Amino acid sequence: MKKEFQQIKFEFHKGIKEELFLNAEIFLTYGEDLTEELIYKADKLKWIMVMSAGLDRMPFEACKKRGILVTNVRGIHKIPMAEFTIGMMLQHVKQMRSLWANEQTKAWERKLPMGELYGKTLLILGIGAIGGEVARLAKAFNMKTIGVNRSGRDSDWADEILTMQNYQDALPQADFIVSVLPSTNETKHLLDGSDFDLMKDTAVFINIGRGDLVRDEVLLEALQEKKIAHAYLDVFYVEPLDESHPFWLMENVTVTPHISSLTKNYLPRSFEIFKHNLHTYIKKGSDYLNVIDMDRGY
* Per-residue exposure over 227-254, b if at least 16 CB sit within 10 Å of its own CB, e if not: bbbbbbbbbbbeeebeeebebeeeeebb
Which residues fall within 8 angstroms of residue 284, CB to CB, at 6 or more apart? Answer: none
Q: Could you give the residue numbers annotated as active site?
A: 210, 239, 258
Closest CA to 149 of 158, 139, 136, 140: 158
DSSP 77-93: THHHHHHHHHHHHHHHH
Residue 32 identity: E
Helices 96-104, 78-93: inter-axial angle, 10-degree rounding = 60
Closest CA to 75 of 286, 277, 233, 280: 277
User: What is the DSSP-derived secondary structure letter of residue 10?
Assistant: P
**59, 54, 262, 48: CA torsion to nearest 10:** -50
DSSP 161-218: EEETTTGGGGGGG-SEEEE-----TTTTT---HHHHHHS-TT-EEEE-S-GGGS-HHH
CB 179 within 8 A of CB 206: yes
> What are the CA-CA distances from residue 4 to residues 53, 58, 262, 272 (Å)?
25, 29, 26, 12
- Is the preceding peptide bond at 257 cis, omega within 30 degrees of 0? no
CB 66 within 8 A of CB 48: no
